[in-house]
A and B are shown apart, each in its own frame.
Chain A
Amino acid sequence: MSWEVVIGLEIHAQLATKSKIFSGASTAFGAEPNTQACAVDLGLPGVLPVMNAQAVEMAVKFALATDAQIGRTSVFARKNYFYPDLPKGYQISQMALPIVGEGSVTVAQTDGTEKEVGLTRAHLEEDAGKSVHDQFNDATGVDLNRAGTPLLEIVSEPDMRSSAEAVAYARHIHSLVRYIDICDGNMQEGSFRCDANVSIREKGDTELGTRTEIKNVNSFRFLERAIEFEIERQIDVLESGGTVVQETRLYDADKDETRSMRSKEEANDYRYFPDPDLPPLVVDVTFIESIRATLPELPHVRKARFIEDLGLPTDDAVALTADKRVADFFEATLDDSFKPRKAANWMTGELFARMNKEEVSLSEVPVSAEQVKGMLIRMEDGTISAKIAKQVFDELWAGAESADAVIEAKGLKQISDSGAIETMIDEVLAANPGQVEEYRGGKDKLMSFFVGQVMRASKGKANPAQLNDILKKKLDG
C-alpha cells in the first residue's frame, strides 16, 4: 500500500522581550532559580496580569512578515490545569480570538524548489516554570524564572508531506523570527521549540488519518528523526491491522524513538474561558502601521534582490540571507571597486569556515565589515593575493586595525614587479638544474614545485598570475 504523510507543526517561539508577558520581571536566561519571578509570576493572591506592549508589537511584526491577518481584537483565555510549575493553576493563552490569523510562508526546499505552507494562526501566551526532578532526593524542585515568559505559538496547516518538508518549514520560521528580531532562536535554551502533528493516510484519500502529537522537540535533527520514527511506527501499526491512537508522544533522543505520554482519554479538560483580568486586546491601524515601519527587508525579498541586482548565485544568496546580521554584514562589505560576488565568495568561504572553526556566531566575530571591505579592496587592486589575504584576515581577527596597516607593518604587499619576479625565478631554476631537465623531459607536474620554490623565495608575496606566466615562458622557452 502506498502511504501519504501529513504533518503540521506547532512552534513555540519565545519572544525576545526584556520583561515577562504580564509582569515586570526579567526574562534573561540562566539566573539562579526563582530569582526572576515576581509576585505576579509566583501567582500570589491578589496580583493581576498587565499586558507587555512589546510582546504585542512582536506578534504584530510576525503577522506582517507572514502576510497574516491581524486580530484587531484578540482575547486572552485561561487554560486551567494543575501542575506545580504552573503557579496560578492556569496558563494565560489565547483561544477563540488569537492576535495573528491566517497567513502563509514560502519555504525553500533542499532540492531547490519552493513550497507554500499555510499558517493557521499564531497566539500569545505565557510559558510555565520548570520542574527540576534530578537535583533533590525524592523531591521535585520548581524554578519559576521561566514562568510568564512570552511565547508566540505558531500553528501551521497540515501542509507538509515529509520530514524534510517539516524541517525546511521549521528552519524557515526559525530564520524568520530571528530575522525580524522577535526571538533569539536559541534551541538549547528552549527559546524555539517544535511540536509535530503527524498522521498518515492512503495516497488519494481526502480525509486526514488519526494524528499523534510529538511534543517539545528542540533540534532540527531530532525533529526529522522523531517524525521519521513516527511515520514508520504508524505505517507498521496500520499495516499490521491496528489503528493509530490519538495521543501525545515524547521523542527520546537517546533511544531514537517516540513513546506515549498521554492519550486523548487521559487528556485534561482545560476549561478554557476568557480571562476576566485582561480586557480584549485591541490593535488599531496606527499601531499596525508603526510596526510595519520597523519591519526590515524580509529574507525572501532580500534574497531575490541579491540574485537579481547583485548577481549572486542562488546558493550564496540563500546562505547570506538566512540571518539578518550576516546579510547586513555582507552589504556593508560591498564597494564599487569589486563585484558583490567577490565579497559573497569570501564570506561564504573564508569567513564561514573561520566561524565554524572558532565556533562563534557573527556577532562574536572580532572583525568589522569595514575592515573586511578594506581587505577586499586590496585583493581586487592586486596589492595582496587571496593567499596573503588569509594572513591579513588572521591579523585582523587578532586585533589589527586595518588591512592596509597589516600589509604595511608585515611587508605583505604583493610583488608585481616582473623584473623582481624574473630574478627570483632565475635563481630557483639555477639552483635546481636536475628538476629543470626532468620537466623539460616531460614531467609537467614539476611546475607546481617551481611555483612553490619561487613563492617561498618571495615569502608568498609574488603575484601568482605573473609568477605562473613568467615561469612557464622560461621553462617552455
Chain B
Amino acid sequence: MSADLHTLTLAQMHSALQAGDVSSRELVDHSLKRIEATNPDLNAILQVDVEGAQASADAADASRSAGNAGPLTGIPMAHKDIFCTKRLNTTCGSRMLENFAAPYNATVVDRLNEAGMVMVGKANMDEFAMGSSNENSYFGSVGNPWNKEYVPGGSSGGSAAAVAARMVPAATATDTGGSIRQPAAFCGITGIKPTYGRVSRYGMIAFASSLDQGGVVAATAEDCAMMLHAMSGFDERDSTSADVEVPNFAAGLNESIKGLTIGLPEEYFGDGLEAAVGDAVQAGIKELEALGANVKSISLPNQHLCIPAYYVVAPAEASSNLSRFDGVRFGHRCEDPKDLEDLYKRSRGEGFGPEVIRRIMIGTYTLSAGYYDAYYKKAQQIRRLISDDFDKAFESVDVVLGPTTPSPAFKRGAKTDDPVSMYLNDLYTVSANLSGLPGLSMPCGFVNDMPVGMQLVGRAFDESRILAVAHQFQQATDWHQKMPATV
C-alpha cells in the first residue's frame, strides 16, 4: 500500500481492510510511524503501546481471516488519557497521576476493544480535562497541526490534533463544556458529544459528573457515527448511563435533510462572535438550505446565563470529585510529610496544576455553608431554564445550529494569563452540557488559514439526526477533506 494510508478515513480503512488491500498490521504500523514522525512537533500523544498495538492488530487480522470482522476491526485509534486503560498509564494530563496504572479498563475502552479497534496510544489533554487550549497539561502543551504556533483547543486537544495530523483516523474524547467540539473546530475535524447518559462514564476520570460525556473525534461524521455506535449503550456500572436503545447511527446517515427545519439562535450570532467566523457559518447555512433544509431564527433567552452557571456547577462537582487525590492510596505523594495536614496540602499542592487548583477553590467556595443556595442551587435552577429553552426551540425546529466557538484557534500563550477570556471559548458549547443534549462540530471554512467549526445540537438521544445533517453537509462540501500541509 501507498505511503498515504494515513489519509484514509476510518470508513475508507474499513473498506480497504475488507477488500484485502491492506492488513490491520500495516495500518497500525503506519499509524505508529506517523506518530513517531509527527508527534515530536505536536505532543498530541503521551504514550505509545507498540507491542500491544501490534499484537491487537495481528489478532484483528486473524479474526478477519476467520470471517469475524466488524466495521471497526483492526482500525488504529487513540484514547484520551482520561479513559482508564489496563495497558499504559492513565495520567489525566496531571502530575498527580503521572505513574497511575489503572487496574481496569473504562467501559468505553472495553467496548472498543471488543469491536476490534486497536489502541496505539494515549492522547494528551488539559489536566483533568480543565482547559480550552491544552496548555494545562502537566506533560506539555499541544500544537495545532494547521500551525503549531496555535493551540489545538481543549481539553481533548491531543485527540483532535492526533486526528487532524492523521496519526490516527479517530480518537476518543470527552466533553464537559465543549472539550470535544471546540478542539474539533480548532483542528478542522468532526467531533460529537452524545446525549448525557449515552456513553458510560465508568473508568472515565470524573471532572464534573453531571456534565461529563465521552464521545469521538474523527475526520468525518460517518467515522464518528461508526465509532460512537460501538461506544454507546447502557452500562450497569454507571447509574447515570441511559437504558435506551442505540440506533445504528451509520445506517441513518443518508437520510435526506429536505424539509428539515434548522433553528438559528439569535444569541449565537450576536456580540462576542468574530465576524469572519460568522461569515463562514453563514456560508455553511447556505449549503444546508441548498440541500433542502429550512432555516428559522429562534431565541434561547437564557443563553447569557450559560457560562456563569457552568462555572459554578462544574467547579463545584470537580472540587468533590478531585478530593480522592489525597496522596494516601495512589497518585502523587509529597516527600516526608510531617503530619496528615502536611501530607494533604503538599501532595495536592504539588500534584495539581494552577487551573485545577483554581477550580477546586471556586467549587469549594460555592458549596460552602451559606453560599450553596446563592451559587450551586441557583446554577441548577438556571440549568432547568436552559433546558426549557431548548425544549421550546425543539417544538418548532429539528436541530439547532450556530458557530462552535466565537473565534478560531488562538496563539499558544495568548490567553494563559486571562482565565475569563479562556472560559469564553465555551460560550456556545456549554449549553449542550448543561441541558444534556447531543452536540456536534464540523468544519465549515477557514479564517486566516485556521479552521472554523459549525455546531449542531439535537434533541436528547437524537444523535442520528445531527450526524445525518453533518454527513449530508459533508457529501456536498469538502471542508472535512482539507488537511494540514504537513499531512
Contact = CB atoms under 8 A, between A and B. Distances in A.
Interface of A is mostly: loop
B289 interface: no
B469 interface: no
Interface stretch (B95-103, B274-282, B413-421): B95-103
Interface string A48-78: 1111000000000000000000000000001
Interface string B313-331: 0001101101111101110
A46 B239 contact: no
B32 interface: no
Contacts of B236: 50
A477 B344 CA distance: 95
Contact of A84 (B240, B330, B340): B340
Interface stretch (B201-209, B244-252, B263-271, B401-409): B201-209
Contact of A273 (B104, B206, B376): B376
B205 A276 contact: no
Interface of A: 39, 42-51, 78, 80, 82, 84, 87-90, 142, 269, 271-273, 276-279
B329 A87 contact: yes
Contacts of B208: 276
A47 B203 contact: yes
B326 A89 contact: yes
A147 to B, nearest CB: 11
Contacts of A277: 206, 209, 239-240
22 contacts: A44-B324, A45-B90, A45-B102, A45-B324, A45-B325, A46-B84, A46-B203, A47-B237, A48-B201, A48-B237, A48-B238, A50-B237, A80-B319, A87-B324, A87-B328, A269-B368, A271-B320, A271-B368, A272-B372, A273-B317, A276-B208, A279-B240
A438 B132 CA distance: 113
Contacts of B102: 44-46
B367 A80 contact: yes
- Name which of A84, A89, A279 has the most chain B CB atoms within 10 A of its CB: A89
A80 B97 CA distance: 22
A45 B202 CA distance: 9
A14 B184 CA distance: 50
Q: State which size class the interface on B falls in.
A: 35 or more
A193 B4 CA distance: 69
B37 interface: no
Given A273-B316, A277-B239, A43 B210 contact: no
Contacts of A39: 103-104
Contacts of B324: 43-45, 87-89
Closest 7 CB pairs of A and B: A89-B323, A276-B210, A276-B209, A271-B367, A46-B203, A43-B324, A45-B205
A365 B364 CA distance: 56
A33 B419 CA distance: 45
B103 A44 contact: yes
A133 B110 CA distance: 40
A82 B202 contact: no
A47 B202 CA distance: 6
Nearest to B241: A48
Contact of A44 (B201, B326, B330): B330
A184 B50 CA distance: 53
A50 B326 CA distance: 23
Contacts of B322: 89
B320 A89 contact: yes
Nearest to B201: A48
B323 A82 contact: yes
A43 B329 contact: yes
Contacts of A43: 324, 329
Nearest to B202: A48
Contact of B326 (A82, A276, A279): A82
A305 to B, nearest CB: 43
Contacts of A47: 104, 202-203, 237
A41 to B, nearest CB: 11
B92 interface: yes
Interface string B203-240: 11110111000000000000000000000000011111
B97 A45 contact: yes
Interface string B138-156: 0000000000000000000
B106 interface: yes
B320 A46 contact: no
